[in-house]
Protein backbone atom coordinates (compact mmCIF):
# COMPACT_ATOMS: atom_id res chain seq x y z
CA UNK A 1 0.00 0.00 0.00
CA UNK A 2 2.91 2.33 0.67
CA UNK A 3 4.16 2.07 -2.91
CA UNK A 4 0.82 2.12 -4.78
CA UNK A 5 -1.54 3.69 -2.24
CA UNK A 6 -2.09 7.00 -3.99
CA UNK A 7 -2.69 5.35 -7.36
CA UNK A 8 -5.14 2.91 -5.72
CA UNK A 9 -7.11 5.64 -3.94
CA UNK A 10 -7.17 7.78 -7.10
CA UNK A 11 -8.70 4.84 -8.99
CA UNK A 12 -11.12 4.12 -6.15
CA UNK A 13 -12.46 7.68 -6.04
CA UNK A 14 -12.71 7.91 -9.83
CA UNK A 15 -14.84 4.77 -10.20
CA UNK A 16 -16.85 5.35 -7.04
CA UNK A 17 -17.73 8.94 -7.92
CA UNK A 18 -18.68 7.90 -11.44
CA UNK A 19 -21.18 5.37 -10.09
CA UNK A 20 -22.35 7.16 -6.93
CA UNK A 21 -23.12 10.86 -7.27
CA UNK A 22 -24.65 10.75 -3.77
CA UNK A 23 -21.31 9.77 -2.25
CA UNK A 24 -19.41 12.27 -4.40
CA UNK A 25 -21.62 14.99 -2.90
CA UNK A 26 -20.27 14.17 0.59
CA UNK A 27 -16.76 15.27 -0.34
CA UNK A 28 -15.09 18.65 -0.56
CA UNK A 29 -14.49 18.92 -4.31
CA UNK A 30 -11.58 21.27 -3.69
CA UNK A 31 -9.70 18.28 -2.23
CA UNK A 32 -10.15 16.35 -5.47
CA UNK A 33 -7.99 18.57 -7.67
CA UNK A 34 -4.27 19.18 -7.82
CA UNK A 35 -3.57 22.74 -6.70
CA UNK A 36 -0.70 24.92 -7.93
CA UNK A 37 2.54 23.92 -6.26
CA UNK A 38 1.21 20.46 -5.35
CA UNK A 39 1.66 17.18 -7.16
CA UNK A 40 -1.26 15.19 -5.78
CA UNK A 41 -4.93 15.55 -4.95
CA UNK A 42 -5.45 16.01 -1.22
CA UNK A 43 -8.30 13.53 -0.61
CA UNK A 44 -6.74 10.50 -2.34
CA UNK A 45 -3.42 11.32 -0.69
CA UNK A 46 -4.98 11.55 2.78
CA UNK A 47 -6.81 8.26 2.31
CA UNK A 48 -3.66 6.55 1.01
CA UNK A 49 -1.74 7.80 4.06
CA UNK A 50 -4.51 6.67 6.42
CA UNK A 51 -4.70 3.21 4.87
CA UNK A 52 -0.92 2.90 5.05
CA UNK A 53 -0.92 3.96 8.73
CA UNK A 54 -3.64 1.39 9.42
CA UNK A 55 -1.62 -1.34 7.70
CA UNK A 56 1.52 -0.36 9.61
CA UNK A 57 -0.27 -0.36 12.98
CA UNK A 58 -2.81 -3.14 12.54
CA UNK A 59 -1.42 -4.94 15.58
CA UNK A 60 -1.54 -1.83 17.76
CA UNK A 61 -4.60 0.18 16.74
CA UNK A 62 -4.45 2.31 19.89
CA UNK A 63 -1.80 4.34 18.05
CA UNK A 64 -4.51 5.36 15.58
CA UNK A 65 -7.07 6.46 18.18
CA UNK A 66 -6.68 10.20 17.58
CA UNK A 67 -6.92 9.71 13.80
CA UNK A 68 -10.04 7.55 14.20
CA UNK A 69 -11.61 10.23 16.43
CA UNK A 70 -10.80 12.99 13.92
CA UNK A 71 -12.10 10.98 10.94
CA UNK A 72 -15.22 9.96 12.88
CA UNK A 73 -16.08 13.62 13.50
CA UNK A 74 -15.59 14.43 9.81
CA UNK A 75 -17.75 11.49 8.76
CA UNK A 76 -20.56 12.44 11.12
CA UNK A 77 -20.51 16.09 10.01
CA UNK A 78 -20.51 14.98 6.35
CA UNK A 79 -23.43 12.59 7.02
CA UNK A 80 -21.56 9.41 6.06
CA UNK A 81 -23.91 6.43 6.50
CA UNK A 82 -23.09 2.83 7.41
CA UNK A 83 -24.19 1.67 3.96
CA UNK A 84 -21.51 3.82 2.34
CA UNK A 85 -18.78 1.60 3.75
CA UNK A 86 -19.76 -1.37 1.59
CA UNK A 87 -19.59 0.82 -1.50
CA UNK A 88 -16.21 2.28 -0.53
CA UNK A 89 -14.86 -1.18 0.32
CA UNK A 90 -15.95 -2.65 -3.01
CA UNK A 91 -14.37 0.21 -4.96
CA UNK A 92 -11.20 0.09 -2.88
CA UNK A 93 -10.72 -3.64 -3.45
CA UNK A 94 -11.48 -3.30 -7.16
CA UNK A 95 -8.91 -0.51 -7.36
CA UNK A 96 -6.32 -2.69 -5.57
CA UNK A 97 -6.93 -5.44 -8.13
CA UNK A 98 -6.77 -3.04 -11.08
CA UNK A 99 -3.64 -1.21 -9.97
CA UNK A 100 -1.70 -4.24 -8.74
CA UNK A 101 -2.82 -6.54 -11.55
CA UNK A 102 -1.29 -9.98 -11.18
CA UNK A 103 0.38 -8.94 -7.93
CA UNK A 104 -3.09 -8.76 -6.33
CA UNK A 105 -3.06 -12.39 -5.21
CA UNK A 106 -6.29 -13.73 -3.67
CA UNK A 107 -4.69 -13.98 -0.22
CA UNK A 108 -3.64 -10.32 -0.39
CA UNK A 109 -7.11 -9.21 -1.48
CA UNK A 110 -8.76 -11.38 1.19
CA UNK A 111 -6.52 -9.87 3.87
CA UNK A 112 -7.32 -6.32 2.72
CA UNK A 113 -11.03 -7.11 2.62
CA UNK A 114 -10.94 -8.42 6.19
CA UNK A 115 -8.90 -5.44 7.36
CA UNK A 116 -11.24 -2.98 5.62
CA UNK A 117 -14.33 -4.66 7.06
CA UNK A 118 -12.85 -4.51 10.57
CA UNK A 119 -12.06 -0.82 10.18
CA UNK A 120 -15.47 -0.11 8.64
CA UNK A 121 -17.20 -1.72 11.62
CA UNK A 122 -15.04 0.35 13.97
CA UNK A 123 -16.02 3.57 12.18
CA UNK A 124 -19.68 2.62 12.00
CA UNK A 125 -19.74 1.96 15.75
CA UNK A 126 -17.84 5.11 16.72
CA UNK A 127 -19.90 7.26 14.35
CA UNK A 128 -23.15 5.84 15.72
CA UNK A 129 -21.94 6.54 19.27
CA UNK A 130 -21.04 10.12 18.36
CA UNK A 131 -24.43 10.65 16.72
CA UNK A 132 -26.16 9.37 19.88
CA UNK A 133 -24.04 11.70 22.06
CA UNK A 134 -24.84 14.67 19.83
CA UNK A 135 -28.56 13.83 19.84
CA UNK A 136 -28.56 13.56 23.63
CA UNK A 137 -26.81 16.93 23.98
CA UNK A 138 -29.26 18.52 21.58
CA UNK A 139 -32.20 17.06 23.49
CA UNK A 140 -30.87 18.41 26.78
CA UNK A 141 -30.27 21.87 25.28
CA UNK A 142 -33.77 21.85 23.77
CA UNK A 143 -35.27 21.16 27.19
CA UNK A 144 -33.65 24.23 28.66
CA UNK A 145 -33.45 24.84 32.34
CA UNK A 146 -36.94 25.33 33.71
CA UNK A 147 -36.02 25.11 37.32
CA UNK A 148 -35.22 27.71 39.95
CA UNK A 149 -32.97 27.36 42.92
CA UNK A 150 -33.88 28.55 46.30
Is the distance from CB of 87 to CB of 22 less than 8 angstroms? no
Q: What is the pLDDT of residues 77-134, one digit of tens each?
A: 999 999 999 999 999 999 999 999 999 999 999 999 999 999 999 999 999 999 999 9
Question: Does any domain span residue 100?
Answer: yes
Question: Does any domain span residue 150?
Answer: no
Question: Does any domain span residue 41?
Answer: yes
The structure's pTM equals 0.88
User: Is 50 a residue whose pLDDT tops 70?
Assistant: yes
User: Is 148 a residue whose pLDDT tops 60?
Assistant: no
Query: 35: which DSSP letter?
Result: P
CATH label of the domain that carries residue 17: 1.10.490.10
Q: Which residues of 37-73 are buried (b: 16+ CB within 10 A; e: fewer)?
A: eeeebebbbebbbbbeebeeeeeeeeebeeebeebbe
Task: Check if 56 is active-site.
Answer: no
Distance separating alpha carbons of residues 147 and 135, to the nearest angstrom = 22
Q: What is the pLDDT of residues 16-32, one digit of tens each?
A: 999 999 999 999 999 99
Count of the separate structural domains present in the chain:
1
Range of 67's domain?
3-145
Marked catalytic residue, from 56, 85, 102, 107? 85
Looking at residue 139, what is its pLDDT? 83
Nearest CA-CA partner of 78 in 33, 28, 116, 10: 28
The number of residues making up the chain comes to 150
Q: What is the pLDDT of residues 62-72, one digit of tens each?
A: 999 999 999 99
Question: Does any domain span residue 85?
Answer: yes
Task: Check if 102 is active-site.
Answer: no
Question: Does any domain span residue 45?
Answer: yes
CA atoms within 13 A on the CB side of 132: 6
Marked catalytic residue, from 11, 13, 54, 127? 127
Amino acid sequence: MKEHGYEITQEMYATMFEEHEDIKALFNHDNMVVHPGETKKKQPLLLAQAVHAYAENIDNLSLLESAVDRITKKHVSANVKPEHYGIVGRHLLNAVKKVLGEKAKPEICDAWEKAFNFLAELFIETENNLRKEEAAKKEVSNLGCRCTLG
